[in-house]
Structure 1
């Protein structure tokens, strides 16, 4: 059953808009609704329609910074959202969302002043998640 749910989640990631403003928070909200809300819920509180069927309950994504003493860890969240961080994120139910790592690339500064190209969709989703933190982050780390 779990693998069927993951497959259902992955099936929704095939088509993404190639909007020039793809890294905006509005684009992130749309991508979240398409790729994440089935498990995490439309308000990102971990109560999506598929949540009850998962072995590991989805996290309340509005409390990420709160769980980290007010810190918003941008790179850590990017790593979790892209789904490839299985050795540090051992949740079988968290799918690899290929659509978030494909498509347009944008310049991203990880905090050291050096920019590199990263997927715009991934940045958009993570910036959207930052925008819905409750309470707001009080500090930031790359």
Structure 2
């Protein structure tokens, strides 16, 4: 097994960057999560023009028009399921990574998922979906 060493100065800078992006309860802010996991394909504006987009067989979705494509309503539960990967499991055509494991770090929050049911959901997944809700046109 190979061990990777990070120079102390680099580790300190990385640690400060992570702390700066954290909410008071330890969650990472939605924008920081977007920058970490989504910007390479969806771009800084969310329209699908990230630097990795050109190399994909299918263009990334325009994340600023999710509500528009859904009759003016932001489908929070469906968006979280897509990000998590739950609704895309087994979809070999999708190149979007399943982020469920990456976003499960931290606390859980109760999210209404329909019919009066609330589901424990990783707060980071909710924060990322809330960020996407905030960039709707």
Matched with 2:12 is none
Q: TM-score, normalised by structure 1?
A: 0.71
Matched with 2:111 is 108
Q: Is the Cα–Cα contact under 8 Å of residues 27 and 106 in structure 2 kept in the other structure?
A: no
Larger radius of gyration: 2
**Which of the residues 42, 45, 60 maps onto 1:43?**
45
Give unmatched runs, 5+ long, in structure 2.
1-17
CA RMSD of aligned residues (A): 2.2
Secondary structure of the structure 2 residue equivalent to 1:110: strand
Secondary structure of the structure 1 residue equivalent to 2:57: coil
**Which of the residues 51, 54, 57 maps onto 1:55?**
57
Structure number with the higher helix fraction is: 2
Q: TM-score, normalised by structure 2?
A: 0.74
Matched positions, count? 116
The structure showing larger relative contact order (alpha-carbon pairs under 8 Å, at least 6 residues apart) is: 1
